[in-house]
Amino acid sequence: MLLAIDIGNTNINFGIFQGNKIIKRFIIPTKDYSLRKLKRGLGRVEINNAIICSVVPQVTKILVKDLKKSLGKRPYIIGKDILVPIKNLYRIPRQVGQDRLVNAYAGVMLYGAPLIVVDFGTAVTFDAVSRNKEYLGGMILPGLGISLDALAERTALLPKIKLKRPQELIGRDTKSSILSGMVYGFAALTDDLVLRIRNKISKSAKVIGTGGNINLINKYCKRLDRIDRDLTLKGVSLIGGVYR
């Protein structure tokens, strides 16, 4: 069994793979991670290897130590022990988050190229892959949660609200107006940026949506061809296949 781990700023996603099939998944909020919660999530499943994709170095160090203690072996870290097998055309290649490269690689392997991956996580990222399967670059925007927090913190009268689906397009109270603006606004932004990127790289580029908030935003977007919330975990598994 392979344990694939995606450490994000908000959540740590775990996927246990048997071959190419994910047989168990669980999530631990990044700020609440503990060895006890890890062991509870793993249960009695016997893990042969673990591979980590991370954008939170401090948490990576803790998890590496805990996995070494629990599994009796050190996990592999993408970007350090394993390189994502995709040609990276970023101006400064090391600046690209490993999660973005993993998403691009997984997207190509599972859905083909040219490709656009839209990841609705703590940040919203757009990543473009050429017809020749080269990682071209993309865009980074603040995510829905960050935007809601900023609106509440930087204004005197607007409240902090919980992210959920809006009940109406034209809000008739403050909370519904904020929700409508966030969800419909990000959906419209997504559709327009997808169109612009397609016009730049290929009008036939497939668009894959992923990330923690993708199930919420998907209903309001018109240009997402496929939803794959486990795209990053699948990419980690595909990259680590040789280490099973």
Active-site residue list: 99
DSSP code at position 222: S
Check whether the bond before 57 is cis (ω within 30° of 0). Answer: no
**What residues does 78 pair with on adjacent strands?**
82
Task: Spell out the residues 6+ positions from residue 8 whose beta carbon is closer than 8 angstroms to its own.
Answer: 30, 55, 56, 99, 121, 122, 212
Which of 244, 5, 223 is closest to 116 using CA atoms? 223
Structure tokens belonging to residue 128: 């473009």
The DSSP bridge pattern shows strands 11-18 and 76-77 to be: unpaired
What is the Cα–Cα distance from 19 to 244, expressed in whole angstroms?
8
